[in-house]
Structure 1
Amino acid sequence: MIFLRNILFYPAFYLGSVFFVLASVVSIPIGPAPLRWSVAAWSRFHRTCLRWLLGIKIEVEGQLSREPVFYAVRHESFFEAIDAPAMYDTPVTFAKHELSIIPGWGRAAKAYGMIFVERDQGAKALRKMVSAAREYSQEGRPLVIYPEGTRTPHGEAGKLQAGFAGLYKLIGLPVVPVAVNSGPMYHRFWKRPGTITYRIGETIPPGLPRAEIEARVIAAINALN
């Protein structure tokens, strides 16, 4: 049954994604509203494929903020990134620069408001990211970051990238940590049915020392481990 679910999911989702990517690219000259609709629709389409083809349900424990905040999200699989537009309200996500070169998708992601991280550029890249993040947050959009910097297997507590504390200090927004347990269901080629849970942590105020903000974020995003 798992095999059957997967051979239905992969062609359905990825062929369907081609349509949404094309729709996103075409909508760029029209304006932000149709582009944002296309991106959110793609993410909701992914959720539909999870529910009806893979047998994966999604549950959310707690409430998301209605104000612009900095979401620090546990990263166990590609699920968190694909699901972000459906989970949050027009989120601005920090992502590795390599994703920006994907044909079509990279262009749409830039226009939508994704902030690409150029790790080899050092302080210059940090200033650029902070400037972009401030502009987007002033528009009322939430920021989403995966502070571990890479996917971490379920059950393991990863380390936070050094850049997270710097962004937290310079951007000056409250941080909402988000735990998620997608790994057992989604972090593998043969995806398995089950329930992926988001747990929204307590809002952490800006201005805390680096050691404290990192300790609190690590504890909160690993709450489902």
Structure 2
Amino acid sequence: MRAVRLSLHRFDSRFRTVVRHASAARDRTETVIVSAHVASGETGYGEACPRAYVTGESIDSIKRFFHRHRAGLEHQVIGLASLLDWRDRHAEEIGANPSAYCAIELALLDAIARTEGVGLDTLLSLPPPVGEHRYSAVLGDSPWLAYRFQLQRYRRAGFRDFKLKLSPDPRRNQGKVAAFRVARGNVRVRADANNLWPDAAACIAALAPLD
């Protein structure tokens, strides 16, 4: 791959509805896009979605990581092997900034694959995707009427896999789960507590009534 130039952009867009869960309520995206522009004309793109309540990262911390390492990456990364070498030499700092590196790595992998005219699976020596792929619908910790309306819309659209954001209120959680028990057809539901409980014992005690 010929010389690469990295750039960073913030993508800010409002949601149609507020997304609520135990750790936050969000009404807009919080996303960073990194572009990797290759001298031969190809451009790769990567995305970071920092979450302070998950990894401690923010838009500002991603910007700092990006600007601290941009020149080195542009100078040193000329292909997959050099990217992996850079990653291994900066493993500790990447561990503290996973979202920041995610956007950069995705952009560079995309650019390298486009330059070589292959897909990411081929570039990384992975088997190609085959078979049926399912999408999961996410149900936030919304007020009851909004929750029921959203669930019904997802079911009408054909969704069968759901991720359910749990609430600090056990009765709310029981009502959410009960709504699935009366729904027709087979559905698969997994719960997302978003750091709701301090330890495993509290988690088990809260989840037991939902079984």
Q: TM-score, normalization: structure 2?
A: 0.29
Larger helix share, 1 or 2 = 1
Larger strand share, 1 or 2 = 2
Tell me which of the two structures has the higher relative contact order, counting C-alpha pairs closer than 8 angstroms and 6 or more residues apart: 1
Task: Compare CA radii of gyration and give the structure with the larger one.
Answer: 2
Q: TM-score, normalization: structure 1?
A: 0.28
